[in-house]
Amino acid sequence: MRYRDIQLDESGRLRHFLSIEGLKRQMLMDILDYAENFITVGGRSIKKVPLLRGRTVTNLFFEPSTRTRTTFELAAKRLSADVLNINISTSATTKGESLLDMLRNLEAMHCDMFVVRHAQSGAAHFIARHVAPHIRVINAGDGSHAHPTQAMLDMFTIRRHKGEFADLRVAIVGDILHSRVARSQIHALTTLGVHEVRVIGPETLLPQRVEELGVHVCHHLPAGLEGVDVIIMLRLQRERMQGALIPSEREYFELYGLTEEKLAFAKPDVIVMHPGPINRGVEISSEVADGPRSVILEQVSNGIAIRMAIMSMIMGNRFGSEEEEQ
């Protein structure tokens, strides 16, 4: 069937990076291990390796983004690739036809990789299915579906602090319903074999039958944080109030905002994560966001290493390969 394993080539190697779902544990571990190599690159005075020299990476952003686009750009540049940034406002291009036309044009310019962000779930799969065979696609966030590089950088951050995944209890708090980050994190955490994943939020922000993704559902924040090693807070979009999903930011913060007080329910060595950008005083208090348990800024720097690892892996260029030795 043509729709199976579009991410993998015939020999099981990564050819696109679209979602965590469908990737095996060993593949995820490989990515994490390989990313360790790039952590040092950022600290050097010359922050470049020639793994993608002569390649063109196109950032194709149909949705505004600063952080993700910037880290992808930096990652590509540190791999010595040429980078093209294309920001398309969703209002100008919402038809698939022009999306495909745009892809054809970029193909004609001999791009090698598309990094895609799009407001529609499945957009990256759609693009991967319709690009020329030599082009690689990385999903930088599609609708509410997946944001796999974010999940991998989160796993990387967790591993750097906690070592093994097996005994961990992880709580994901907030708007799971609309969160592509949460979906990818859940797949990554369950694939890596953590002890327990809890999702915490009001019923209005939890998708139907979310338990089938392998998580425990909890509606009460203090109870849900009991004994957890990792807390992942999700961003609450302001427009959720209009959809009658929550009454107000005030009430949301009261119930699900992470404060020092609630943090005390978790393990003493808990780490607090957030994919950013954070809404201070809505989902997290400043004390916690800037406090000693927070690893939020570390996530950002790890994001560059993870993206360098994934980009070079899908282009088939690794340290020690011929390209590197040139």
Partner 1 sequence: MKLRIHGGRLIDPASGLDEIGTLCVADGRIVAAGESPEPFTADREIDAGGLVVCPGLVDLQARLREPGQEHKGTIESETAAAAAGGITTLCCPPDTDPVTDTPAVANLIQELARRAGNTRVLPIGAMTPGLRGEQICEMFILSQSGCVAFSNAERAIVNTEVLRRAMEYAATHDLTLFLRPQDPWLSANGCAHEGAVSTRLGLRGIPGFAETMEVARLLILAEQTGARIHLGPLSTARAIQMIGRAQYDGLPVSASVSAHHLHLTELDINDFDSRAYLRPPLRTQRDREGLHRGLVRGVIGAICSDHQPHDIDAKLAPFAESEPGATAVETLLPLSLRLADQGVLSLSEVIAALTWRPARILGIPAGTLSPGAAADICIFDPERYWTVAPETLISQGHNTPLMGWELKGRVTHTLLEGRLVYQLKG
Is residue 237 a contact residue for partner 1 (CB under 8 A)? no
For partner 1, which residue of 10, 46, 209, 268 counts as binding (CB under 8 A)?
209
Query: Is 63 an interacting residue with respect to partner 1 (CB under 8 A)?
Result: no
Site for partner 1 contains 126 (CB under 8 A): yes
Sign for the CA dihedral angle at 71, 35, 16, 78 comes to positive
Of residues 132-171, those binding partner 1 (CB under 8 A): 142-146
| Residue 125 neighbours by CB distance under 10 Å | 21
In the complex with partner 1, which residue's Cβ is closer, 9 or 82? 9
Instruction: State the Cα–Cα distance between residues 76 and 50, nearest whole angstrom.
Output: 10
Give me Rg for the CA atoms of the chain: 20
**Distance spanning both ends of the chain, measured CA to CA:** 40
Shortest distance in whole angstroms from residue 179 CB to partner 1: 8
# chain residues binding partner 1, by CB under 8 A: 32
Minimum CB distance to partner 1, residue 34 (Å): 26
| Alpha-carbon torsion, ordered 184, 141, 151, 68, to 10 deg | -170
Length, in residues, of the chain: 326
Binding status of residue 88 toward partner 1 by CB under 8 A: no
**210 touches partner 1 by CB under 8 A:** yes
Residues 165 to 204 in contact with partner 1, rule: CB under 8 A: 180, 183
Q: Which residues bind partner 1 (CB under 8 A)?
A: 1, 3-4, 6, 21, 94-97, 99-100, 118, 120-123, 125-126, 130, 142-146, 180, 183, 207-210, 212-213
